[in-house]
Structure 1
């Protein structure tokens, strides 16, 4: 009977884990171990692009790729993890409950934006999951059917972090595409920070300020949304902003499945892992992507909830989970090089290097890099076995 490596999740961490595990098994000529991916869809949802228009196109099918490398895909929604019995319970698309046993488990179930207990927050949109991003796109397209008003032409973005900035910078163009190029549009970022782009540090702040001014994006600093309704938001200061569109980008938390594992978690719900991405005290359980609190280097830096880190984490987790079955030496996870590429809409983009985010490229040069990242670098490899497995080498550096 074959041993089974079960990977829960088909995002960046899960997909690359499956390829990397298969790669190491292939190198050792082992056909007595199967790699199984359990996820709601056999597709990579390119989440870093959900702030863009045409969001329904931001998916990459994985069926042919998995078939090419010999990964088995099981469609379902994971609900229960039994680490003692080494079983994962899931719900099929028909609503039936089923289970999968495993010899080794990689948890790669990602993260979700946090919706706080805030009055009227159900009126807000987000760009976190594909369905919500599509709902926002349809809403923007429908605005043209409404009578012209300040509310119709205004978007409030709650949160001035990476996602909030990219969403806000894209909004003027998206609104004008829906309402007409001559429409007077208004985009307002509401942020608790005391400075524009505070969450990203001093490095890119000047670029964010310049882009905001050029694009007409306003900031409400030292502010928070107190309530949301169908017509706009009320801030904690009492200020009322009329807006038909409110986008929530504040706070992200790891999948709630991590709470079923008897192990240490951080404030974002991520499982603490060792250098090989194994969960201490849980034999045969690895965590990767947004559910793993993993040290990138020996300088005190930890992986962020980003595709840049999830790709490398996935390659490492897949290699090391297979290594643990084969009895060969693992390759400790290491990702000392850190870059960011922040999309700033029509202004361009800003590309930085290092944890202090030193600017290397900006405006058109930065935008060119961002377009490469978004359209090529973060997508799955082609469905060709040898090339796909070669791309899953954990020693390949990731800069996207």
Structure 2
């Protein structure tokens, strides 16, 4: 019977884990180890683009790619991990249950948006976390043209001024005008707890963010949070009322709840602590990649962020090392010292920085061209050609 590497998740971490494991097995001419990917769909959903229009196109099929490199795809939603029997339980869309045994497991189940327990949040807010929810938001925006002209119709409130909130907000004026007309009296308001615009992103980005916000007409309400939401708008913690039919929630990401079923140390976002080879601390047979892994990127105290930039590299290393573990060959320690930020700022352009201290390198249209290249080419999976796909999974390839 073949030994089995099971990868849970088909996001950036999962796809690149599976490809990298296949690469190492190929290099050692081993066909006695099966690689399987368990996920709801055989597609890589391009989550960093969900703030854009036409979100239903932001995905890439994985069937041909997996076939050409010999990866088995199992369609289902993982819901349990038994580390003693080394089995993962799952259910399919109809509710039918199944289990998969593993010799080695790569947990790459991603993260999800967690809304706080505030009045009206579940019923009356949108998000761009999953493609279905982002599509729901797009359908809603298009339907606004059927409503009478009013402040509520013309106003979008974005809760959260972090990376996702900023990219969502700065894209929104163009999306609203495409539906409501160039002369519509639109408002886009970002509500953020921070004391300054873009407080979490540092001093290097702030001037560009302020300039872009002024250019696009984005309003910021700082030192504030949402207290409640209803069909007609939001009430802030200071009692301020904003009339809006479109409230978008962008804060509160947590690692997949599956991490809770693995004995180990977790950070405040639920990510499992891993060693330098991405093996979960305290587990012999489980590795982690992507948003479920709390991994040191260097020796300076920096840790991987919940981003495709880190998920791709984490996947390449985790897949390589899980295969190396079964092959009995030396692993490759995870290292990703280069960190970059490329923040889309809508029609104004973008801003690109390098380093954890975010040193400004490109702004405006120059940065926008780079962002477009990243979003439309770099983060997509390789072509369904065996040699090309396996070469692309080499962990030594720099992501940024």
**Cα separation, 2, equivalents of 1:183 and 1:248:** 24
- TM-score w.r.t. structure 1 length? 0.99
* TM-fit CA distance, 1:327: 0.4
Deviating above 3 A after TM superposition, structure 1's stretches of 4 or more consecutive aligned residues are none
* TM-fit CA distance, 1:114: 1.2
* TM-fit CA distance, 1:34: 0.5
Could you tell me which residue of structure 2 aligns to residue 287 of structure 1?
288
* TM-fit CA distance, 1:251: 1.4
Could you tell me which residue of structure 2 aligns to residue 11 of structure 1?
11
* TM-fit CA distance, 1:94: 2.4
Aligned runs of 1:169-188 on 2, under 5 Å? 169-188=170-189
Could you tell me which residue of structure 1 aligns to residue 113 of structure 2?
113
Task: Structure 2 unaligned segments of length 5 or more: list them.
Answer: none
Deviations 1:217-274, CA, capped at 9 Å, x for gaps: 0000000000011111000010000011000001100000000011110100000000
Could you tell me which residue of structure 2 aligns to residue 22 of structure 1?
22
Could you tell me which residue of structure 2 aligns to residue 45 of structure 1?
45
**Cα separation, 1, equivalents of 2:116 and 2:60:** 31
Aligned runs of 1:58-73 on 2, under 5 Å? 58-73=58-73
2:204 counterpart of 1:203: yes
2:165 counterpart of 1:161: no
2:291 counterpart of 1:302: no
**Cα separation, 1, equivalents of 2:182 and 2:85:** 60
Aligned length: 399
Could you tell me which residue of structure 2 aligns to residue 151 of structure 1?
152
**Cα separation, 2, equivalents of 1:34 and 1:376:** 29
Could you tell me which residue of structure 1 aligns to residue 347 of structure 2?
346
Deviations 1:6-62, CA, capped at 9 Å, x for gaps: 000000000000000000000001000000000000000000000000000000000
* TM-fit CA distance, 1:182: 1.2
2:276 counterpart of 1:264: no
Aligned runs of 1:309-388 on 2, under 5 Å? 309-388=310-389
* TM-fit CA distance, 1:283: 1.1
* TM-fit CA distance, 1:184: 1.2
Deviations 1:270-306, CA, capped at 9 Å, x for gaps: 0000000001111110011000000000000000000
Task: Structure 1 unaligned segments of length 5 or more: list them.
Answer: none
- TM-score w.r.t. structure 2 length? 0.99
* TM-fit CA distance, 1:318: 0.2
Could you tell me which residue of structure 1 aligns to residue 32 of structure 2?
32
2:94 counterpart of 1:130: no
- For the aligned residue pairs, the C-alpha RMSD in angstroms reads 0.5
* TM-fit CA distance, 1:213: 0.3
